[in-house]
Homo-oligomer: A and B are copies of this chain.
């Protein structure tokens, strides 16, 4: 048996921004009546593309330069269940930036007033996704374009 460390990422709340809100659909739920855990990963994608868009050209611009940012590692801690029709708030920021790596951190939250019949803020999860910059065709590691690196650095310092 492995003696595992924690997969719960340490979140730096000062680095987070509200980047998008979204509505939980039937499509996201499972028969436990709550959000199926895998449904959150598309919301995390939405969060990081909106973070990138907020500082400059969209992620697709990276692709036109022949680059990609595939996911290498992910850690998630699920705190409380999300419910149907929750209006969730997606917070996202950088947790690390180097010439060849970009790490994003996240909180997904139901703010006070955004869950029917509830009157409190509910934390759903915290997560971190770690991406490498690679050549789209060969998959070989590449350096982030200087312009994206500079824009991302601004996010980090914000």
Contact = CB atoms under 8 A, between A and B. Distances in A.
B4 A128 contact: yes
A69 to B, nearest CB: 10
A18 interface: no
Contacts of A42: 25, 27, 38
- Most B CB within 10 A of own CB, among A11, A38, A46: A38
Interface residues of A, number: 59
A54 to B, nearest CB: 13
A85 B58 contact: yes
A7 B128 contact: yes
Nearest to A26: B30
A75 to B, nearest CB: 4
